[in-house]
Amino acid sequence: MTPESLPLVYFGKLPARGDFIRARAHIAETNAIDQWVSQALAISENLFSDASDSLIDSPPTNNIAFLNFSHVDTVSNEIITGVLLPSHDSSHRNYPLIGFGVLHLDKPKSWMNYLPVKSLTLWNETYEVLSVAKSKTDSAEVMAGLNDGQLTVNKNASTHYYDFINTTTLHDIAILMNISKSQLIQQIIATGLLFLPTYSKGFSGLNKAIYWTLTSDRENAIHMATFWHDLISGFYQPHQLYLNTYLYRVSNCYRLLLSFTKPDGCMLSQLASSEDSHPDDWVIIAHSDWTQSYIDEDIGLTRFNKILLQDDLYLYDTRQLFKKTFLAQ
């Protein structure tokens, strides 16, 4: 049974206080997030430098202004969904402010299939509470707001996604992404080819992060992030896995990063990497020219590519054809 709301779990630093703040509930989950963030800071201490800190003359330009994250473990049926904001304490020592909700579902994959759009309300409300907390100077008022925080679970979120894929074409998305339609099709085929081995082998051997460039506006970025989750959902249905989702904005565009191991602070430290020099263990979906040889040699992919190129399909039709081509569904 999905609850109507979740209590806000929080920890980190605030300008109004000189110490760490920490919610009393979900201690184990908080410790795990703390370890994840601390590992990242040990690698890149300026990763979460707070651009709003008046004592910093020129914060790093590639810092992320926020991070929407979700960690799912299908073995424990646990979903952690939250937001990380760069912050600092009253002595201007940098450490992020993090807020999240903890959800336990008997069938977490039903959430994972459409994770970004299902998480959107949680992300938005968490961001709002944390932003207000950062802006206040009265410590008692700040803590009261955090302790009273409740996050709404939107049980109808997937209907918004279906409205999107039934009214949006490949051509529409290519324009929003500032790429050609053929490049978008290559990205779709690359996604299918990359995940195809996991259907039989599982996800334990998938130690690379998968990185998509989305759109510059938030609404379409959330829907496109959901589209990519939807496409890969068929591959993991037979398996237990971790699914870590990171949605953030750099260089005026939203980005989606997925990984399939326990949350890794090293990967978190890489999020602000330059667009020109991605980490070696990231697969960059925008660089999908390599798919052309597969398209030329495989009759099924040749047909798939031809249909998508010739017809101005809605994303729903593309999704159905993708599942038929790669999963025989």
Distance (Å, whole) CA 121 – CA 106: 21
Per-residue tens of pLDDT for the chain, all 329 residues: 889 999 999 999 999 998 999 999 999 999 999 999 999 999 987 777 776 654 444 444 456 789 999 999 999 999 999 999 999 989 988 899 999 999 999 999 999 999 999 999 999 999 999 999 999 999 999 999 999 999 999 999 999 999 999 999 999 999 999 999 999 999 999 999 999 999 999 998 899 999 999 999 999 999 999 999 999 999 999 999 999 999 999 888 999 999 999 999 999 999 877 667 789 999 999 999 999 999 999 999 999 999 999 978 999 999 999 999 999 87
Beta bridge partners of 175: none
Residue 63 confidence (pLDDT): 66
HEC-encoded secondary structure of the chain: CCCCEEECEEEECCCCCCCCEECCCCHHHHHHHHHHHHHHHHHCCCCCCCCCCCCCCCCCCCCCCCEEEEEEECCCCEEEEEEEECCECCCCCECCEEEEEEEECCCCHHHHCCHHHHHHHHHHHHHHHHHHHHHCCCHHHHHHHHHCCEEECCCCHHHHHHHHHCCCEHHHHHHHHCCCHHHHHHHHHHHHHHHHHHHHHCCCCCCCEEEEECCCCHHHHHHHHHHHHHHHHHHHCCCCCEEEEEEEEECCEEEEEEECCCCCHHHHHCCCCCCCCCCCCEEECCCCCCHHHHHHHCHHHHHHHHHHHHCCCEHHHHHHHHHHHHHCC
Count of domains forming the chain: 1
Check if the beta carbon of residue 40 is closer than 8 Å to that of residue 58: no
Check if the beta carbon of residue 104 is closer than 8 Å to that of residue 77: yes
Residue 47 confidence (pLDDT): 77
The encoded tokens of residue 72 equal 């799912």
Beta bridge partners of 78: 73, 104
Range of the domain at 153: 5-327
CA nearest 300: which of 222, 192, 148? 192
